[in-house]
Amino acid sequence: MLTLLILIPLAGSLVAAWLPRAWAVGFALATWFESLWVLQQFDLHTPGLQLLEYQPWLPQLGLNYSLGVDGLSLPLVLLTSTITLLVLWGAPLSIPPERRQLFNSLVLLATSGVMASLVAQNLLMFLLFYELELIPFYLLIAVWGGQRREYAAMKFLIYTAVSGILILGGFLALGGLSGSLNFDYAQIHPEHLSQRTQLLILTLLLVGFAIKIPLVPFHTWLPDAYVEAPAPVAILLGGVLAKLGTYGLVRFGLGLFPDTWHLISPGLAAVASLTIIFGALAAIAQKDIKRMVAYSSVGHMGYVLLGVAASTPLALVGAVAQMVSHGLVLAFLFYLVGVIEVKVGTRELDVLNGLLNPLRGLPLTSAMLIAGGMASAGIPGLVGFIPEFLIFQGSFSAFPIPTLLAVLGTGLTAVYFVILLNRTCFGKLDNHTSYYPAVTWQEHAPALVLTGLILWFGIQPSWLVSWSESTTAALIAAINL
Amino acid sequence: MDFASLAAQLNAGAILPEVLVTVTLLGVLTIDLVGGRSTSRWTPYLGIAGLLGALGALYYQWGQANPTAFLGEFNADPLSIVFRGLVVIAAAVTIAMSIRYVEQTGTSLGEFIPILLTATLGGMFLSGADELVSLYVALETLSIASYLLTGYMKGDPRSNEAALKYLLIGAASSAVFLYGASLLYGLSGGETRLAAIGAALSTLTPQTASGAVIALVFVAAGIAFKISAVPFHQWTPDVYEGSPTPITAFLSVGSKAAGFALATRVLVVVFPSVLEQWHFLFAALAVLSMVLGNVVALTQTSMKRLLAYSSIGQAGFVILGLVAGTAEGYASMVFYLIVYLFMNLGAFTAVVLFSLRTGTDQISEYAGLYQKDPLLTLGLSLCLLSLGGIPPMAGFFGKLYLFWAGWQAGLYGLVLLGLVTSVVSIYYYVRVVKMMVVKEPQEMSEAVKNYPPVTWSLPGLRALQVGLVVMVLVTSLGGILSNPLFRLANSSITQTPLFQAVPPSIANSRL
């Protein structure tokens, strides 16, 4: 039952507020098993929605409790449950014990909201859970963040709230003008509207989701929020929450406006290449490794947008796979940066040095950081390669110049990861000052699991691709009708 | 006219709830007179019981075949039942939160409760009044009792200042309203019943219709004063800040609900012939209230002033439902008022509790409260988030319904403005939540450092606790499980005869 995907973390968030951490991890584990069960029940060859559930909720508003999962949401559901589990497992590293129960509770609440948004099949229900994320994430940043946490959290809150109202405005327009009885996706037929109206609504939705993803020039909240947030929260923000933006773009942009999509896709491709280049250049200029990873995240979301804009079957499959890949790699990098911050006590590129030193450094963490950098730069054999390759191959026919710019962007990605790895991992460790506390196996464990996943999906990408293949093919077929 | 038909036309059963409140009022007054000060240990509970009894009587009145009473002076239709219910609940919760508050300030409960019940009575009659004279009498009953309540803390200069300001501005606005009413009386050729005035106004020629517009402007000014819509809001912050906090709560919910009942009935019944003009007028009020209320609230440092400006902004949202002019619009207005009752009273109960324990209303003094009083922090946070329209609180569904109804009625600009200003409002509500939850122990304020141990055993605190818990529960669950509330709001409109001429929304006609 898909309801359990929402209910288990929700119940967990109520329970975890009072009980020890083991309970929170237990509920996250149960959610993870439930998502595996969904995968097991899911028929990979059916393009449409599966495991449907339907209950009238507030008929006066057109709000129905309508759930379903397809190839677009399935990979993200799996990603969300996996990352939540790892975040709760690895949280003790960066979260002091005093208010950890509240932390666990908020993380589970946020997870419940993301899950519900992913499986909702009613516009208002999506929006309800999309907005539900506001307060848990606000508190997660504001309570456990760094020096400027209150500023960063408020900025995040305002940006996300604006994104929410733009989307709500778009949804009200969709429901009101297309003359549907309720806000179920199946009932929304914008194709009868004039092209101008369609474009207007689509623009509202696009800007709303662009803030969430975020795309340049709506990205200014991201460096503050990602950097000020503690590592586990940064992982959730980048690995899980940002995916709601790209998911919404595909589901409501591409999915609901197949006729109008080709009008805006050249513009989107241009924004995508701009985002990629900007993200990479900004990352090169950073002196703080967490900020560097944050900007690398901006750039990598650009690839997703490029694939979505190109809207060829290959590019869209690549875009969905890139969402998962980005989530795993970003979680991995942020976790390792978190470990370095806790053990070494700084994130400054100019101070860090020689961490690969086998005796007094953090050898295993540094080794994994190198693997993370490689995965992010799209080295073959790791999870980053195949999605990017699919996107480039699929988009080149549609948008050659933006695609070439994006390829240039991957080159720049390699540049800043070389800078990062060169400064932090290599070089000579200062013999007098560096006596770092050892990283325990318990603290290594989440990163090791992520290494395994990144390697596995790098060697065996057909899994990742097969989850979404039939759905994305059907979406593209609807456009090209 | 024989007795039987006279009794039928009087239909005195329609005011059974009001009779119950009156009996309670006299009972409390007499008991206090005979039994002395010591009876105030239990008279408040008698007051609450009387109000709950009135609520029960209202429940049994629902769906009555003949709602008109006293030869058309009073109407007990579903619309008036809902609004009278709102006023009664607001009064009951106000009593629950004021027992300890009034005791602590050393004034007498034996007078406080009868005056509050008088205001309630005024609000109830105002919700059902169907004729100019009874309408004005009810309005004045509510207003004069409110002036008294505002100045009830005789020793506190701010309370005196608030009472004087409220009295002067209130008297002026009620005079303006009366002037409008006198124009209506003249224009309609000596009619006082609202329906007859409406019928007479619709026969006016274009030349004389300007008279109706002038009457509309005067009447609207009186109404806008009661619902504290901008630009008739200037009294609100000072009066809210100076009044005893429970009275602020009553003014912001009970009195405002009565004001909206008056607005709905008068506008729909009397002014259909100048529909465009009153829609324009109230759309302007809505725009000003939403913008000014929400923007000025950003800079407030006192919790009571914050809630005062927030209530101005909230009134703007509610007017949106009124301006929509469809059945859906009125239903969304009723729904939002119900939700607003619970969330705003919940917030005020928490504020009263905080000021009982620390003696201050400054927002900065809430810093770090979560460590000392988790229940208060949770309750106040949930109510404020609901006021800000954050899901899954009831306020989110209320706003969604208002905006959806407004959108369907074609008020695109107003809805967009409402969306934007509700983002502004999130900022200042979350600022308070931040104070309570985010601040580290070392950033704790003086008031919270000296916070007394949390106890509920003092007389009167138990009632306050029950009130707080009920309000917070309804606020947090009333959204997700809001079907009964939706049905209540909808049927209060569809079953009320005066809305028969109103167009249902576009969506409904298609269903």
pLDDT at A161: 94
Determine whether the interchain pair B390/A128 forms a contact, defined as Cβ–Cβ distance below 8 Å.
Answer: no
Residue B167 CA to residue B171 CA, distance in Å, equals 6
Residue B307, domain member (yes or no): yes
Q: Does B45 touch chain A (CB under 8 A)?
A: no
Q: Does A44 touch chain B (CB under 8 A)?
A: no
Residue B41, domain member (yes or no): no
Q: Same structural domain for residues A305 and A330?
A: yes
Distance from CA of B418 to the nearest CA of A (A): 10
Q: Same structural domain for residues A113 and A26?
A: yes
Q: Same structural domain for residues A101 and A62?
A: yes
Determine whether the interchain pair A142/B490 forms a contact, defined as Cβ–Cβ distance below 8 Å.
Answer: no
List the one residue out of B361, B366, B272, B282 whose CA is nearest residue B321.
B282
At which residue do the structure tokens 């024989």 appear?
B2
> What residue numbers bound the domain in which A42 lies?
1-256
Residue A442 CA to residue A93 CA, distance in Å, equals 9
Please report the number of interchain residue pairs, chain A to chain B, with beta-carbon separation below 8 angstroms.
Answer: 83
> B53, exposed or middle or buried, with CB in 10 Å at 0-12, 13-18, 19+?
middle
Q: Same structural domain for residues A193 and A274?
A: no
> What residue numbers bound the domain in which B303 lies?
290-511
Residue B7, domain member (yes or no): no
Take residue A475 and report the two structure tokens written for it: 């979406």
Q: Does A7 touch chain B (CB under 8 A)?
A: no
Q: Which of A256, A277, A307 is the last residue of a domain?
A: A256
Residue B141, domain member (yes or no): no
Query: Domain tally for chain B?
Result: 1
| Residue A51 near residue A2, CB atoms below 8 Å | yes
Evaluate whether ipTM surpasses 0.95.
Answer: no
Tell me which residue in A128, A129, A161 faces B423 most closely, judged by beta carbons: A161
Find chain A residues with C-beta within 8 A of B437's C-beta: 139, 142-143
Q: Same structural domain for residues A174 and A288?
A: no
Residue B315, domain member (yes or no): yes
Q: Which residue of A has its CA nearest to B368?
A: A143
Q: Same structural domain for residues A264 and A247?
A: no
Beta pairing partners, A50: A69
Classify B234 as helix, strand or coil. Answer: coil
Determine whether the interchain pair A179/B483 forms a contact, defined as Cβ–Cβ distance below 8 Å.
Answer: no
Helix (H) or strand (E) holding B68: strand B68-69
Find chain A residues with C-beta within 8 A of B490's C-beta: 60
Q: Which of A209, A233, A256 is the last residue of a domain?
A: A256
Q: Same structural domain for residues A289 and A177?
A: no
Q: Does B430 touch chain A (CB under 8 A)?
A: yes
- Rounded alpha-carbon distances, angstroms, from residue A13 to A48, A134, B131: 32, 16, 54
The pTM score is 0.94
Tell me which residue in A150, A161, A172 faces B438 most closely, judged by beta carbons: A150
Q: Same structural domain for residues A195 and A280?
A: no
Positions of chain A with pLDDT under 70 = 431
Q: Which of A256, A272, A291 is the last residue of a domain?
A: A256
Q: What is the CA radius of gyration of chain A?
A: 21
Query: Domain tally for chain A?
Result: 2
Residue B21, domain member (yes or no): no
Residue B469, domain member (yes or no): yes
pLDDT at B507: 42
Residue B5 CA to residue B71 CA, distance in Å, equals 11
Residue B264, domain member (yes or no): no
Q: Same structural domain for residues A194 and A315?
A: no
Axis crossing angle, helix B16-35 with helix B78-104, rounded to the nearest 10: 20
Q: Same structural domain for residues A268 and A252?
A: no
Find chain B residues with C-beta within 8 A of A173's C-beta: 407
Beta pairing partners, A55: A65
Q: Same structural domain for residues A240 and A262?
A: no
Q: Same structural domain for residues A301 and A174?
A: no
Positions of chain B with pLDDT under 50 = 506-511
Tell me which residue in B328, B390, B416 faces A134 most closely, judged by beta carbons: B390
